[in-house]
Each structure stands twice: as structure tokens, then as C-alpha cells.
Structure 1
């Protein structure tokens, strides 16, 4: 199973990117970042005043209700993308014949719990393997 970057969004700005778009995405563990955000965050990390400012307040503290509402769908899209990555990683592990029990141990849950969370959506009904 290939874990694809098609249809992904930047986890930081919410812009769609990946192959076939003008916005390359990089990353892993569910988080994806575009070149524009890398440039922005690099500039912040290299600027002592920006670092000091980032330590004083969270961005949402200065945002209006309208701005916070506008960001909410992006937060949910990023969360859904991370859930999709989790499903893809579990599917990858199952294709490598890693047992539900081992996946469950890794996640700190029972074999049944991990199977209920991931197998029904992936179509993997191998409950004991």
C-alpha cells in the first residue's frame, strides 16, 4: 500500500497541495507542511523579536470571533487528515502481516479495540491475525 500525498492539505495554513498542484507538501506522522509555511516559520525562528512575541501570546488570543470561526474548518480538516493517516498506517502494518494484537499493544489498547477502530473502515476482517 502506498501512502499518497494527493488530496492532502498543509497542516499549518490549510492550503490543498501535493502532486498535481502548485503547492508541494512535505512531512510525515500526519502533519504536512508547504514551502510557504516552512519559509514563514524559518523566518520566525531566526528572528529574536518574533520568537519573543510567540512566547507572549497565542495567535487566537488576538483573533476576532469571525477569524476563529474561519479557522475551525481548517482545524477539523487537519484532524481528519491525521485520522486518515492513522488508518493508512494501520493498513500498511496489516499488509505487512503485523497482528491486531501487536498494533493494539503499541497503541495501549486491546486487539479488539484497535480492530473495531480500524478494521471496519479498511475492510480487513482478519480479527485474529
Structure 2
């Protein structure tokens, strides 16, 4: 499966590596350009934005610090909403706001993108 993974910090970084070990193809993005060093060395592709990461992914995962980051990555002008295709699945692994996730769900549903709130 082709997975877009956004947020490669303490939680997201190891999760992304485990997905790669399981044989999935990853397209990664993080605000810190140095964060995906190990992922890129192991074959992940770099995406310049969440939009680019989502563009060719069947599944998009985010592991971000909080609601402000989730909103920007999901709904911003260069966000997942503007890159993911109809039928894609977006799962937010962050601890976020239920109100925000409902808003993201409504916006994504209009474009045929499925949303899962899956805090870790």
C-alpha cells in the first residue's frame, strides 16, 4: 500500500519505520527537513507538503503535536484536503479536538475522502 505519513517525531517516526518494515511504500513530510533522514535512507519518498504526500497515497496518516497542526495539515491551502483523491483514507493519529475532527470529516466527505480519528 502507498501511504502518506506526515509528522515524523517521537511517535510518528517509529510508526512510519514499522510500516516500511511491513513492506509499505511511504511518502513522508515533516516541518523539520532533517526528521525523515532515516526514512529516506530506507527508501521513503520526500514530499514538499502534506498536499503532495496525499496526492498519490491510498492512506494518509498524521501524527502531530496538537489541534492547530492537525487543522493546518488537513485543511490548509497546501493540506491533505487539496491533495487526496476520492476514496483515499485519512487517519489522524494525533490527540486532537473532537470538534475539529468533525469539521475535517465534513470537508473531506464532500470530496469523497474517508476520515478516521485514531489517537494514539
Higher strand share: 2
Structure scoring higher RCO (CA < 8 A, sep ≥ 6) equals 2
Structure having the higher Rg:
1
TM-score by length of 1: 0.25
Higher helix share: 1
TM-score by length of 2: 0.26
